[in-house]
Structure 1
Amino acid sequence: MTQSFGPCTVAILAGGMGTRLKVRTGSLPKPMAPIHGRPVLQHQIELCRRHGFTRIALLVHYEHETIRAHFGDGSAFGVELHYCVEGEARGTAGALVDALDTMDRRFLVLYGDTYADVDLTALWRHHIGAEAAATLLLHPNDHPHDSDLVEVDDEGRVLAVHAYPHPEGAAYRNLVNAALYVMERSLLPDVIPLDRKSDLAKHTFPAMLDKGLRLLAHITPEYIKDMGTPERLDKVERDITVGLPERLSGRQPRTAVFLDRDGTLNVEVHHLSRPNQLQLIPGAGDAVRMLNRAGVLAVGVTNQPVVARGDVTLAELARIHATLDHQLGASKAYLDRMYVCPHHPDRGFPGEVPALKIDCDCRKPRTGMIDRAIRELGIGRGQSWMVGDTTGDLLAGQRAGLRTVLVRTGHAGLDGKYPIDADYVMPDLSAAVHWILEGHPALSHQLLPVSAAAATARLVLIAGPARAGKSSAARVLAEQLRDARTAVHVLSLDGWLRPAAQRAEGGGVLQRYDLDAFKATLMPVLASSARHVIQVPSYARKSREVLPGRPVSIGPQDLLIVEGVPALMDDALNALADVRVFLDLPDDERRARLTADYVWRGENDTDLQHRLDSRERDELPAVRASANEATHHLSSTTRLS
């Protein structure tokens, strides 16, 4: 039966039995399942109160007396509660239609088995501004294969609801019905049957679409999770403990990792134009899942000139991205948003789309896609990252104020379009995410004493075995010191490697470097009170070539950070540096990184093993002996390969 109260602006469907939770909750109704000591329904009521929704109808059924005994009239919780008791369970839609005379003309609907930290005010305003019949809160989740998925157009209008179970072989975008709605009361009696059980998601919304009513999507990265099983309940409690809902809430700027698509997430295919061409790079799904679980937004930003060329329609591109979502979903991973530039400035392709042949502001290396994501998702630039495989990705990230990571998959930065160096270089997306989430924070913490010691230094040396992470340490140290120093310059001794023909294995580490040439460049700078412009060569690891120098202007107050395997093996350099760092790592990780590096360079098994064995004999003991010269000793323990 339904009592006539009102008008209420919130309906909470709280009639569930919680059969799957009985091993935890016994005879308690599902909405009374405790999360950190309070019923989930109490969390929902408190959420509503925080956003000014204080007139709430509880649509109850099973053990409703228990719910009433705990909450009473709601005054103890700062709200006004009305109870609508359902005599016979008739599904979510049936329960709602029975309570309609309790509701205001427009109201929120929450499900009593979800934990949410969502800006209800923003959802409400979005609905009103669009004049929709109903607005559905949607989000990607880590189990799209067994969720109700919603198809949405570019304007945010709902086109279809694909209820679980999905047809075999179907691939849909990962936009999940999160069971939180704004609805218009007057439209519901015509789309909810009175003679049978019915479900809002599976029956009511499709019926509204069939009648031509406007359904709106409110897509958000905020936290909302079903906790209807013991496993999901445990997961929600863990997420709250580690602060995941807070990081996703938007109350503070969110952290994001912007991801290029081709060559970073999926295997590079020239002009990929069909869903069956898309294949995730090994480990990419797990890497994205790590970001999801850390509360770091995973945001795709991809140039797709195939659309402008007429090779792919926007609808076909949507199917390709549905396949990407489907494959990520198999790893329990998802992208929070995908931004696409369909433009291309050059004309003359057969079948091209003239309207898309423009010089836009969204095509990387321009920052339009990143800027839009930052606005729409509330992202903080300074704490966020760009990961990609081309120099265009790096330049876009740098221009947008992000830290940049180059991955050695896809083009591996060898496209040569723009003269730019990444902040960090990693083997693949998996290594990049480990670095972002674990390596960078850990090394930043370790480097704090070094940073303090280097605050007034002129020269810092960073040494260690090959692939120990010296260049990354130098970059992190530079980040820490840039605000306190006029300028910080990182010089890699790899730029002073001798030509490959002169670096025969077995000759010792010092034989491979021309330290005399390096000192001839460095010493005049250190001895002078004037500004110097020096040529700094770079080393191309893939080809093992030293490339011509680029000019670097160094002032007399600037800090120089010199990193390289033999950085602590020269007495003259050691005498000039007040801060000397030795960075080491466990042998198994060191060999794994070296092996991955040689494989990437194309070494065959015989040559690879020869190089590894040679470095063990003629390099490692001498390099580790140089640790005696260090003022600071650090350990790199993060897995990057």
Structure 2
Amino acid sequence: MTSSPTFLCNVAILAGGQGTRLASRSGALPKPMVPVMGKPVLQHQIELCRRHGFTDIALLVHHRHETISDFFGDGSRFGVRIRYAVEDAPRGTSGALRDALHALKPQFLLLYGDTYLDIDLRRFFGAHLASDANATLFLHPNDHPYDSDLVDIDDQGQVRGIHPYPHPEGQHLRNLVNAALYAIRNESLTSVTPEAGKADIAKHMFPAMLAQGLRLHGYVTPEYIKDMGTPDRLDKVERDIEVGLPERLSWRGLRKAVFLDRDGTLNREVNHLKSPDQIELLPGVGEAVRQLNRAGLLAVLTTNQPVIARGDVTIEELHQIHARLESLLGTQRAYLDAIYYCPHHPDRGFEGEVPALKIVCDCRKPAPGMIEQASRDLAISREGSWMVGDTTADIEAGRRAGVRTMLLHTGYGGQDAKHTGRPDYVATNLAEAVQWITVGHARARRQLAPIALAALDRRVILIGGLARSGKSSAAQVLKELLAVLGKHAHIVSLDGWLKPGSERAEGTGVLNRYNLAAAVSRLAEIAGATQRVEFEEPVYDRFTRTIASHSERHSVGTDDLLIIEGVPALCLPALTPPARTLRLFINESEDIRLKRLKDDYTARGYTEEQTTEVLNSRASDETATIRRSAESAEHMIDWEK
């Protein structure tokens, strides 16, 4: 190996690749010179190093190295100093690095010349120095862990093992992928790489370091780093850059996240799940999590695990459970960005329990501790983030943490009833929830923004439409928009005045299913009040088909807006003078609406035959009446447009 100028470098970039798999795009260019968004990927890397203060760079080159040196020269054109280490005969990544150690400082960064990355290198290098490790490996989850090198770390980040691809069948490992970015102590390397012959960093050097008892540290982050060594991967990187994914995942601004419950949300509910074999993903979960990944929203698991406090599961066994969960998601090209769990439980008296964990803590949902910790660790903004789960504890945790909340009808479907309070949104399953979070919510804000402006001088907004057309979602979006405009609003659901199931028969007409006289009397009184009114809104339990024992409390000021939503909302007589009422009709695709209805009835235990019977009945005694009520609406929202 030959080299140029004698200054020591704090960055080494392995830039000797041929780029054979990219030949259809790059011709004879060496791999580091393949253009990404119009300039060589190696140039992106050098500019990244300069931005973070790493300006002395050694390029470890081999194939057509003159092409690289002719382009970059001494580096002055790019604000850096470049030293070339030319490999005469291929020695593999570890061999090439060993031969260049004389050109490198005692601590240095190592990059691979075929990755596009948007990483805070200063933060990464600082974490390496603080860890006092011999080497720090940059780790992240990806959407293909099944064919990636995976790294096992303990809760302190120390590397316990490296598992190269291919993995033994049936082995479940955390989705922590070796992303080919390292910070290394120079003196650690001479004893773990042979002086002659080929050797690989991931397959040979790091395992040798572990075998010698040297300390490796894992640095886990959601920041963007991708191998672009094939045409498909190159296309994917460029698409990601176009849509701003690297920017959204960077440390330059606060990230947005969807905090996910585990049991009943991602996987089938199993009471006190204790074994990896009990993990079974719910239908559509993999695609839903993948949709979050592609949108640049962090997917963060937050789960209560009292089985640890009970002594049923050890922390290591919980890691195995989560490894299987991540493996199953990985087979569907999806991943979790982070996992947070609460091992505590406040109640004592279980045989085999762990006394130290039998405490009242600030992390067990409904406490917001896990969300708060994740927000600190991952620089997450509460504004624009969501909590999605199947229990009222999930919803209450999200409310206390100040994020939007989404209750699913899977798992418990909110029937744990431990906490009162209405979720911001409701969805049949995770797939529907994620579609709303990533697409529907922003679309609804755009469609409803003019209506929020029009409603500023009103007292009442009536929102009607057929069942499962999205009325409650529209009401919540309007409430959010009005808050931005400085107007406080209260959402009231007419479902609170549904007659108990035993007192209403199918086929008697939609208006006969409600006690509308009582609703109109109370709501007109509130709308016309000249002083603040304390109001207990009745809540309908769709599972028992009765009014719930708890109510939704409102303190309605004279300048506040009442948003009244429900199937017959536009059939109500005047609650306040017409000039002070805005009437809105919500329309949804019939296919989508019927699917929601069928999913809802299935979740409530209806047979297919019973569901069909109810839907046929509703079609005959509800559809025409409610569609006629749209004639009185000032505004109509069609979610399909």
TM-score, normalising length from structure 1?
0.98
Taking the aligned partners of 1:501 and 1:216, their CA distance within structure 2 comes to 63
Taking the aligned partners of 1:97 and 1:27, their CA distance within structure 2 comes to 28
1:41-90 CA distance string (max 9 Å, x none):
11101110110111111101111111112111111111111111101111
The offset of 1:574, in angstroms, is 8.1
Conserved in 1, the CA contact under 8 Å of 2:460 and 2:576? no
Instruction: Name the structure 1 match of 2:428.
Output: 427
One-letter amino acid matched to 1:152: I
Q: Is the partner of 1:258 in helix, strand or coil?
A: strand
Instruction: Name the structure 1 match of 2:181.
Output: 180
Conserved in 2, the CA contact under 8 Å of 1:137 and 1:219? yes
Instruction: Name the structure 2 match of 1:620.
Output: 623
1:572 aligns with 2:574: yes
Taking the aligned partners of 2:433 and 2:465, their CA distance within structure 1 comes to 21
Instruction: Name the structure 2 match of 1:563.
Output: 565
Taking the aligned partners of 2:215 and 2:38, their CA distance within structure 1 comes to 40
Instruction: Name the structure 2 match of 1:230.
Output: 231
Alpha-carbon distance change, 485 to 187 in structure 1, aligned in 2, over 3 angstroms:
closer
Instruction: Name the structure 1 match of 2:476.
Output: 475
In the alignment of these two chains, the number of paired residues is: 638
Q: Is the partner of 2:226 in helix, strand or coil?
A: strand
Deviating more after overlay: 613-622 vs 452-461: 613-622
Conserved in 2, the CA contact under 8 Å of 1:239 and 1:245? yes
1:566-605 CA distance string (max 9 Å, x none):
1111342485453111110122112111211222222222
Q: Is the partner of 2:491 in helix, strand or coil?
A: strand
Alpha-carbon distance change, 126 to 551 in structure 1, aligned in 2, over 3 angstroms:
closer
Taking the aligned partners of 1:559 and 1:330, their CA distance within structure 2 comes to 48
Q: Is the partner of 2:381 in helix, strand or coil?
A: coil
The offset of 1:502, in angstroms, is 3.3
Instruction: Name the structure 2 match of 1:453.
Output: 454
Conserved in 2, the CA contact under 8 Å of 1:298 and 1:336? yes
Taking the aligned partners of 2:622 and 2:299, their CA distance within structure 1 comes to 40
Conserved in 1, the CA contact under 8 Å of 2:95 and 2:196? no
Q: Is the partner of 2:574 in helix, strand or coil?
A: helix
Instruction: Name the structure 2 match of 1:358.
Output: 359
Q: Is the partner of 1:553 in helix, strand or coil?
A: strand
One-letter amino acid matched to 1:154: D
The offset of 1:416, in angstroms, is 1.3
Identity of paired residues, percent?
57
Q: Is the partner of 2:3 in helix, strand or coil?
A: coil
Instruction: Name the structure 1 match of 2:214.
Output: 213
Conserved in 2, the CA contact under 8 Å of 1:583 and 1:634? yes
Conserved in 2, the CA contact under 8 Å of 1:222 and 1:249? yes
Instruction: Name the structure 2 match of 1:98.
Output: 99
Q: Which residues in structure 2 correspond to 1:81-92 (within 5 Å)? A: 81-92=82-93
1:587-638 CA distance string (max 9 Å, x none):
2112111211222222222221122122222211221111111111101239
One-letter amino acid matched to 1:557: D
1:170-228 CA distance string (max 9 Å, x none):
11000000100111111111111122211111111111111111111111000000011
Conserved in 2, the CA contact under 8 Å of 1:521 and 1:534? no
1:480-536 CA distance string (max 9 Å, x none):
112444631101111111222332222221111222111110122222211222331
Q: Is the partner of 1:325 in helix, strand or coil?
A: helix
Conserved in 2, the CA contact under 8 Å of 1:2 and 1:99? no
- In the alignment, which of 588, 595, 599 is matched to residue 596 of structure 1? 599
1:443-462 CA distance string (max 9 Å, x none):
11111011101112111011
Q: Is the partner of 2:267 in helix, strand or coil?
A: coil
Conserved in 1, the CA contact under 8 Å of 2:391 and 2:413? yes
Alpha-carbon distance change, 543 to 10 in structure 1, aligned in 2, over 3 angstroms:
same
Taking the aligned partners of 2:610 and 2:169, their CA distance within structure 1 comes to 47
Instruction: Name the structure 2 match of 1:165.
Output: 166
Taking the aligned partners of 1:507 and 1:263, their CA distance within structure 2 comes to 36
Alignment gaps of 5+ in structure 1: none
Taking the aligned partners of 2:131 and 2:553, their CA distance within structure 1 comes to 55
Conserved in 2, the CA contact under 8 Å of 1:135 and 1:216? yes
Taking the aligned partners of 1:551 and 1:73, their CA distance within structure 2 comes to 70
1:404 aligns with 2:391: no
Instruction: Name the structure 2 match of 1:2.
Output: 2
Q: Is the partner of 1:161 in helix, strand or coil?
A: strand
Taking the aligned partners of 1:13 and 1:128, their CA distance within structure 2 comes to 22
Taking the aligned partners of 1:501 and 1:305, their CA distance within structure 2 comes to 39
Instruction: Name the structure 1 match of 2:65.
Output: 64
Deviating more after overlay: 9-18 vs 476-485: 476-485
Q: Is the partner of 1:95 in helix, strand or coil?
A: helix
Taking the aligned partners of 2:535 and 2:182, their CA distance within structure 1 comes to 62
Taking the aligned partners of 2:445 and 2:577, their CA distance within structure 1 comes to 26
Deviating more after overlay: 140-149 vs 73-82: 73-82
One-letter amino acid matched to 1:595: K
Taking the aligned partners of 1:295 and 1:360, their CA distance within structure 2 comes to 31
Alpha-carbon distance change, 403 to 373 in structure 1, aligned in 2, over 3 angstroms:
same
Q: Is the partner of 1:425 in helix, strand or coil?
A: strand
One-letter amino acid matched to 2:156: E
Taking the aligned partners of 1:108 and 1:369, their CA distance within structure 2 comes to 33
Conserved in 2, the CA contact under 8 Å of 1:574 and 1:629? no
1:326-381 CA distance string (max 9 Å, x none):
00001101100000111112211111112222222111111211111001100001
Taking the aligned partners of 1:83 and 1:328, their CA distance within structure 2 comes to 42
Instruction: Name the structure 2 match of 1:339.
Output: 340
Q: Is the partner of 2:473 in helix, strand or coil?
A: helix
The offset of 1:167, in angstroms, is 1.2
Q: Is the partner of 2:603 in helix, strand or coil?
A: helix
Taking the aligned partners of 1:429 and 1:605, their CA distance within structure 2 comes to 22
Conserved in 2, the CA contact under 8 Å of 1:463 and 1:582? yes
Deviating more after overlay: 533-542 vs 439-448: 533-542
Instruction: Name the structure 1 match of 2:294.
Output: 293
One-letter amino acid matched to 1:424: Y
Instruction: Name the structure 1 match of 2:125.
Output: 124
One-letter amino acid matched to 2:270: V
One-letter amino acid matched to 1:307: I
Taking the aligned partners of 1:582 and 1:280, their CA distance within structure 2 comes to 37
Deviating more after overlay: 353-362 vs 214-223: 353-362
Conserved in 2, the CA contact under 8 Å of 1:581 and 1:632? yes
Q: Is the partner of 1:460 in helix, strand or coil?
A: strand
Q: Is the partner of 1:581 in helix, strand or coil?
A: strand
One-letter amino acid matched to 1:553: S
One-letter amino acid matched to 1:94: G
Taking the aligned partners of 1:359 and 1:564, their CA distance within structure 2 comes to 40
1:27 aligns with 2:28: yes
The offset of 1:552, in angstroms, is 2.4
Conserved in 2, the CA contact under 8 Å of 1:485 and 1:558? no
Taking the aligned partners of 2:72 and 2:553, their CA distance within structure 1 comes to 71
Taking the aligned partners of 2:626 and 2:564, their CA distance within structure 1 comes to 16
Q: Is the partner of 1:447 in helix, strand or coil?
A: helix
1:408-447 CA distance string (max 9 Å, x none):
1111111111112211111111111111111111111111
The offset of 1:6, in angstroms, is 2.1
Instruction: Name the structure 2 match of 1:259.
Output: 260
Taking the aligned partners of 1:3 and 1:586, their CA distance within structure 2 comes to 67
Conserved in 1, the CA contact under 8 Å of 2:422 and 2:552? no
Taking the aligned partners of 1:540 and 1:387, their CA distance within structure 2 comes to 20
TM-score, normalising length from structure 2?
0.98
1:251-307 CA distance string (max 9 Å, x none):
111000000111111111111111101111111111111000110000001111111
The offset of 1:546, in angstroms, is 2.2
Taking the aligned partners of 2:67 and 2:603, their CA distance within structure 1 comes to 63
Taking the aligned partners of 2:20 and 2:465, their CA distance within structure 1 comes to 58
Deviating more after overlay: 228-237 vs 366-375: 366-375
Deviating more after overlay: 525-534 vs 132-141: 525-534
Conserved in 2, the CA contact under 8 Å of 1:390 and 1:411? yes
One-letter amino acid matched to 1:634: I
Conserved in 1, the CA contact under 8 Å of 2:41 and 2:114? yes
Conserved in 2, the CA contact under 8 Å of 1:542 and 1:600? no
Q: Is the partner of 2:571 in helix, strand or coil?
A: coil
Taking the aligned partners of 1:376 and 1:527, their CA distance within structure 2 comes to 49
Taking the aligned partners of 2:274 and 2:528, their CA distance within structure 1 comes to 58
Instruction: Name the structure 1 match of 2:526.
Output: 525
1:142-184 CA distance string (max 9 Å, x none):
0001111001011111111111111111110000001001111
